Chain A
Amino acid sequence: MSVQNLNSVDPFAEEELLGGTQDVGSGADYIHIRIQQRNGRKTLTTVQGLAKQYDLKKILKAFKKEFACNGTIHDDEKLGEVIQLQGDQRSKILDFLVENDVDRSTIKMHGF
């Protein structure tokens, strides 16, 4: 009844757990900071792939206070929770994250 192999961790279960935050295939779970243009000179900054261990709400609150902008958490089906901020906050976010001991090499800044 007790076959050793079957007792080990179910690989598929784990996949589901990880799948949310990670880009599957790229190997490392990068934090992506992106920018999108809106109308006029308005922009939108998105932060994708923040580790689950952090409380996004608190991070968002800190972002909003620090950068003096509004923002929201968008729950994407595939990509997990994504922070959206008004305006181009990319470099500020990067500085903020690095200052708070996030490894620089895990952060990818996109955009122009």
Chain B
Amino acid sequence: MASEEPLFDPSLKKRKKKAVAFTEYPLGAEADPTAPAPETIDNTTTTGEAVDLGPSTAHEQMKRNGEEGGKTEDDDFKAMFGDMKKKKKKKEIPMDLADGDSGASTPVAGASAPAITEDLDFSDIKKKKKKSKKAALDMEAFEKELSESKSKPAADEEDEGEPEHNPNLDIDDADLENDPFAQPSDVPVGVDLGNEPWLSSDRDYAYPELLTRFYSLLHAANPALLSSSSQKRYTIAPPSIHREGNKRSVFANVTDICKKMHRQPEHVIQFLFSEMGTTGSVDGAGRLVIKGRFQQKQVENVLRRYIVEYVACKTCKSMDTLLTKENRIFFMSCESCGSRRSVNAIKSGFQAQVGKRSKNRPA
């Protein structure tokens, strides 16, 4: 067995490095948290599994403290289409920037906790771009294959090996050239340097303070958690809107987008109409003709809200959900976490009288 280890590990390393995504990584480690690795690294990985889900909730909570609830929800999903825009422009620069940012932000981040959360989200969004969804999926499949083909003890060693190489990969990602083992020891000192408010006073430390401290330490110690902590990006093609005549807009790829979201086009269209306060119809080619002038950005906003409301799982944020109708009530069940909840029915609400009254009058 011991002779096999070195055989496996190098190959693993190499392959993983090539496939950039290692989002599923901590999950793999989660299965068997037996690690004889040095303590510092061990901490990061074992906490890594908690953090893996953690930042998406805890950081948002922190953010929410400062901001209004509604805004942050939007922010989460702004990334989806924001990605598209970048792709359309074919700008590669932001990616490089992201690397520089995360590299630069980490030392600063140690100093102040609020700063880190901001930096975090920033680099989060940008870094996520790196991974294509496909790559992530491939990784999943690859890991499954690995675990299936190997006997259990072999799998154990695999997990033991991964945590050790995590920091290495992280640093490659973040373009830092420090010794991985030096980092964890360095950073806590920087963070501890008299910044904690409770050090000077007699009072007890509050939970939020400790929580921010924990995250700042954690992210300072391994910057790549910032990117790997968030789930793989959910991207859909931006809606293609063009004007038909003077008063109508055509939403050409409704069906594609609906297919991507696993939703009935009727449901999506109903939502669009009720939100935008208009009417319209689907033409022969499956395009949606909307009454009124709408720009792509506007439709995008509405779609984003649709996704927040009817596609994203509220529990795990996965987009892998199904919408079913039972007894006139729509239920959304999540494919990845299994949660199930009812969603609001789409109501059009008040529609003011627009246009000529004589047209509306019957007969």
Interface residues of A (CB under 8 A from B): 23, 25-26, 32, 34-39, 41, 44, 46, 48, 74, 76, 79, 82, 84, 104-105, 109-112
Please tell me if the beta carbons of B349 and A110 are within 8 angstroms of each other in the complex. Answer: yes
Please tell me if the beta carbons of A35 and B69 are within 8 angstroms of each other in the complex. Answer: no
Please tell me if the beta carbons of A111 and B345 are within 8 angstroms of each other in the complex. Answer: no
Please tell me if the beta carbons of A23 and B347 are within 8 angstroms of each other in the complex. Answer: yes
Query: B70: CB under 8 A from chain A?
Result: yes
Query: B100: CB under 8 A from chain A?
Result: no
Query: B34: CB under 8 A from chain A?
Result: no
A-B contact count (CB 8 A): 63
Query: B355: CB under 8 A from chain A?
Result: yes
Please tell me if the beta carbons of A74 and B277 are within 8 angstroms of each other in the complex. Answer: no
12 chain-A/chain-B pairs, Cβ below 8 angstroms: A34-B349, A37-B277, A39-B247, A39-B355, A41-B293, A44-B354, A74-B352, A104-B69, A105-B69, A110-B277, A112-B276, A112-B298
> Of B278, B344, B349, which is within 8 A of A37 by CB?
B278
Closest B residue to A27 by beta carbon equals B344
| Category for how many chain B residues contact A | 20 to 34
Please tell me if the beta carbons of A104 and B275 are within 8 angstroms of each other in the complex. Answer: no
Please tell me if the beta carbons of A79 and B350 are within 8 angstroms of each other in the complex. Answer: yes
**Cα of A111 to Cα of B350 in the assembled complex, Å:** 13
Q: Given A37-B292, A39-B355, is A48 in contact with B349 using a C-beta cutoff of 8 Å?
A: yes
Which residues of A have CB within 8 Å of B20?
none
**Cα of A41 to Cα of B352 in the assembled complex, Å:** 16
- 8 interchain residue pairs of minimum CB distance: A112-B298, A36-B277, A37-B292, A48-B350, A82-B350, A79-B350, A110-B275, A46-B350
**Cα of A97 to Cα of B264 in the assembled complex, Å:** 36
Query: B301: CB under 8 A from chain A?
Result: yes
**Cα of A64 to Cα of B178 in the assembled complex, Å:** 62
